[in-house]
Each structure stands twice: as structure tokens, then as C-alpha cells.
Amino acid sequence: MIRKVTIFSLTAMIFMSMFTAPVFAASGDTPTIQQQQQMVNVAHRGASGHAPENTIVAFDKAVEMKADYIEIDVQMTQDGKLVAIHDTTVDRTTNGTGSVGDYTLDEIQQLDAGSWFGEEFAGEQIPTFEEIIDRYQGKIGILIELKSPALYPGIEEKVAEVLMQRNMHKPNNDKIIIQSFNHESVQRSKELLPNISHGVLAGLTWADVTDEQLAQFAAYADFFNPNMNIVTDELVDRVHTTGMMIYPYTVRAQEQADNLFQLGVDGIITDFPEYVYKHPVKN
């Protein structure tokens, strides 16, 4: 009798594992479907693995791929207008040369910001911050990086003004996050927009960040977003202990995403949203 129960139990366990193992696996090299569904998927400069970074076509692609957020880099033109571009010069991603801050808005929007990526993107413009907010508000979260804010005095106030004009500074607005490598800029922005989440970006030099430093960040930041190459399970635990979340950057390969899944991060910033979670794309 005991033998029969044992065989029956073993058979039942094998049968059940056929259906549960792929979904509820606790560890291994391949992330589970549940892990993928829970992971916050941030499209770095839009879906920039598929389209020219920081352009409307890249942001539209991220929406199409069902990313949770688009990440944008915000700088300021000579005439005080906010635009989305990563480098402090236009050389790499347009057909122009020189510093972003030396161009007026009209001048910078005459540049071709798409051909460098592919001929099919010829004529893509550098979009304004207001254009991005108005186009994607309510459609996808927006992670705003204040890029080299020391070059643009008052940029924090200008970003805050745009958001407040659209009532996007309200409490518990989890669709907007503001971050920067310039941690003083993050503090200034948090003072202006206390109800919006903020994050500190951390490069490779922060590999040895101390608990004291993390606690100092947590006083004004909700996120500690480091270079993925310094992320360990210990760092993830220490960040979580302070009450912050962690979105490492920048994933450009499936194995990098899989590693971060196993380390228990809260979100992943990636050029390829499909590496984080392969949502179906609407026709």
C-alpha cells in the first residue's frame, strides 16, 4: 500500500512539474515568464537598438514594443529651449557639428538626426521636451535624464515648469522619473518636484559605494541606477535596504539582461526592449 502511494505521488509530481517548472523556476540561466512580467522595461533613448536614439521614431517603437518607460536625455539650446539629445555636441547623431548649447531651437531642428542610423530614417529631427511629453503622456512612462546640467543653469526649473503646466507634478505620479549623474542637480529637481520620483545615476567609479553614501542618496532619491557592470546581488540588497529601487544600464545583449534578472534588480534600461520582456507587437 505504501509503495502504491509513493508511485502515485511521484507520478503526480512529474505531471505537475511539466506545467509549473517553466513558470516557477526559482533559479537558472533563463529568466522565468513571471520574472520577465514583473521587470520594469526601460527603453534607453527609445528603442535605440532599432531606430535612431532620442527621436520620435525610436520612442514610437518603444511604445509599439510595450516598454514600460522611454528614457530621454534633456539638454538646452542657446535660446533656452529643452531638447532631447544625448551628447553635448551634435556631431555623432546628426549631420551637424558643434555644441548643443550653441544652436537655437530652429537651427538644431534643421539637422538630420536619423541618417547616421540608416537611410530610411533620413530627416528625423531632434525633438523638444514639450513635444515628447505631449505625445507620450498617458501612453508610456518617461524617465528623464538631466544631461550635463552644469552646462545649462536653470534646466531643473525649466523641466519642472513644463511638467507643472501639464499637472504632471501631482502626488504619486509614477509615470515620471527624473535622474542625473549630477547628484546636486537631482537634489535641486527634487526640491522643485517633491512628489515626482528621482534617481541618482552611478558610473563605474561608484563600484565601492558605501552604505553611508546610499543612505545619503535615499534622503532625496528613490532610485540608485548604476552601470550594470558594478551590479552584484550584495549591491542590490544594500540598495533595497535603503528603500530605493535599482534600474541598471545599459543592456545590449540577452545574456546581460538574464544576468540582471538573476541579481534581482527592479528594472532594466536597455536599447532592446525585447531582451527584457518579449511583449507581442500589435499589427
DSSP state string for 144-202: EEE-SGGGSTTHHHHHHHHHHHTT--STTEEEEEEEES-HHHHHHHHHH-TTEEEEEEE
Task: State the catalytic residue, choosing from 50, 86, 169, 198.
Answer: 86
Global confidence as pTM: 0.86
What local confidence, expressed as pLDDT, does residue 257 receive? 97
User: Which residue positions in the chain have pLDDT lower than 70?
Assistant: 1-37, 171-173, 278-283
The CATH code of domain 40-275 reads 3.20.20.190
CB 193 within 8 A of CB 163: yes
CB 268 within 8 A of CB 41: yes
Amino acid (one-letter) located at 164: M
| Active site annotation includes 198 | no
What local confidence, expressed as pLDDT, does residue 265 receive? 97
Q: How far apart are CA 74 and CA 197, in angstroms?
A: 17
What local confidence, expressed as pLDDT, does residue 133 receive? 97
Element (H, E) at 239: helix 233-241
Rg (CA), the chain: 22
Nearest Cα neighbor of 45 from 6, 79, 11, 85 is 85
What local confidence, expressed as pLDDT, does residue 173 receive? 65
Task: State the catalytic residue, choosing from 44, 50, 169, 198.
Answer: 44
What local confidence, expressed as pLDDT, does residue 17 receive? 37
| Active site annotation includes 86 | yes
What local confidence, expressed as pLDDT, does residue 277 receive? 80
